[in-house]
Amino acid sequence: MPHDIDHLVAARPGNESSIVIVGAGQAGLSTAEKLRANGFVGSITLVGEEPDAPYQRPPLSKAYLLGELERARLKLKAEDWYARNRIALRLGTRVASIDRARRRVCLADGAILAYDCLVLATGAIARKLPQAISRGLAGIFTIRTLADIDALRPALEKRGKLLVIGGGYIGLEIAAVARGLGMTVDVVEAAERPLARVASAETAASVEALHRSRGVTFHVGKAVSELLGADRVAGARLGDGTIIAADVVVAGIGGMPETALAAGAGLAIDNGIAVDAYGRSDDPFIWAAGDCANFSLSGGGLRMESVGNAIDSADLVARNIMGARQPYRPKPWFWSDQFDLKLQIAGLSRPGDTVVVRQGAGPGRSHWYYREGRLVAVDGLNAPRDYLVGKRFLAASASPDPVLVADPMQALEAPANN
Amino acid sequence: MPTIRFLLADGAELAVEAQNGRTLMETALESSVPGIIAECNGSAACATCHVVLPEEIMVALGPISEHENDMLDFAEAPRESGSRLSCQVRVSDMLDNVSVRIPSA
Ligand SMILES: Cc1cc2nc3c(=O)[nH]c(=O)nc-3n(C[C@H](O)[C@H](O)[C@H](O)COP(=O)(O)OP(=O)(O)OC[C@H]3O[C@@H](n4cnc5c(N)ncnc54)[C@H](O)[C@@H]3O)c2cc1C
Ligand code: FES
Q: Residue A184: which residues within 8 A CB-CB, separation 6 or more?
A: A160, A161, A162, A215
Tell if the CB–CB gap between A385 and B31 is shorter than 8 Å: no
Q: For residue A75, give the DSSP letter.
A: B
pLDDT at A10: 47
Residue length of chain B: 105
What is the pLDDT at residue A416?
A: 77
User: Which ligand 2 atom sits closest to the C-alpha of B41?
Assistant: 1
Cα A189 to chain centroid, rounded: 20
The torsion angles phi and psi of A134, rounded to 5 degrees, stand at: -80, -25
pLDDT of A11 reads 56
Q: Are A385 and B34 a contacting pair at CB < 8 A?
A: no
> Contact at 8 Å (CB) between A294 and A262?
no
DSSP codes, chain B? -PEEEEE-TTS-EEEEE--TTSBHHHHHHHTT-TT---TTTTSSSS-TTEEE--HHHHHHH----HHHHHHHHTSSSPP-TTEEEGGG-B--GGGTTEEEE----
Q: How far apart are CA A69 and CA A88, in angstroms?
A: 28
For every one of its 418 residues, what pLDDT tens digit does chain A have, with 9 covering 90 and above? Answer: 444 444 444 457 888 899 999 999 999 999 999 999 999 999 999 999 999 999 999 999 999 999 888 998 899 998 899 999 999 999 999 999 999 999 999 999 999 999 999 999 999 999 999 999 999 999 999 999 999 999 999 999 989 999 999 999 999 999 999 999 999 999 999 999 999 988 999 999 999 999 999 999 999 999 999 999 999 999 999 999 999 999 999 999 999 999 999 999 999 999 999 999 999 999 999 999 999 999 999 889 999 999 999 999 999 999 999 999 999 999 999 999 999 999 999 999 999 999 999 998 778 999 999 999 999 999 999 999 999 999 999 999 999 999 999 999 998 888 876 5
Whole-structure pTM over 0.90, yes or no?
yes
Closest C-alpha to A27, from A265, A278, A292: A292
Query: Which CATH number does A131-253 carry?
Result: 3.50.50.60
C-beta atoms surrounding A358 within 10 Å: 24
Q: Considering Cα of A125, then A204, then A247, then A156, what sign does the dihedral take? A: negative
Per the CB < 8 A criterion, the answer to whether A235 and A247 are in contact is no
B46 Cα to chain A: minimum distance (Å):
9
pLDDT band (50, 70, 90) for residue B4: very high
Asked if the Cβ–Cβ distance from B31 to A81 is below 8 Å, we say yes
Q: Mention every residue, 6+ apart, whose C-beta is less than 8 A from residue B9.
A: B34, B35, B102, B103, B104
pLDDT tens per residue, range B35-67:
999 999 898 999 999 999 999 999 999 999 999
CB A35 within 8 A of CB A19: yes
Q: In chain B, what are the domain boundaries? A: 3-101
B45: chain A residues, CB-CB within 8 Å: 335, 342, 344, 384
Nearest to A417 among B40, B67, B105 (CB): B105
Q: Do A81 and B37 touch (CB under 8 A)?
A: no
pLDDT at A5: 46
pLDDT of residue A412: 87
User: Nearest chain B Cα to A310, which residue?
Assistant: B39
**In the prediction, which pLDDT does A364 show?**
92
All residues of chain A having their beta carbon less than 8 Å from the beta carbon of residue B26 are 73
**Which residues are B4's β-sheet partners?**
B16, B98
Q: Out of A342, A389, A417, name the one closest to residue B45 (CB).
A: A342
Give me the architecture of the A6-125+256-321 domain, per CATH: 3-Layer(bba) Sandwich (3.50)
Residue type, A73: R
Domain ranges for chain A, please list them.
6-125+256-321, 131-253, 340-406
- Cα–Cα dist A128/A254, whole Å: 9
Q: Does domain B3-101 have CATH number 3.10.20.30?
A: yes
**How far off is chain B from A9, nearest CA to CA, in Å?**
28
Q: Do domains A131-253 and A340-406 have the same CATH topology?
A: no
Cα separation values, A405 from A358, A378, A401, Å: 6, 11, 6
Enter the CATH code of domain A340-406: 3.30.390.30
Contacts of A33 in chain B (CB under 8 A): 32
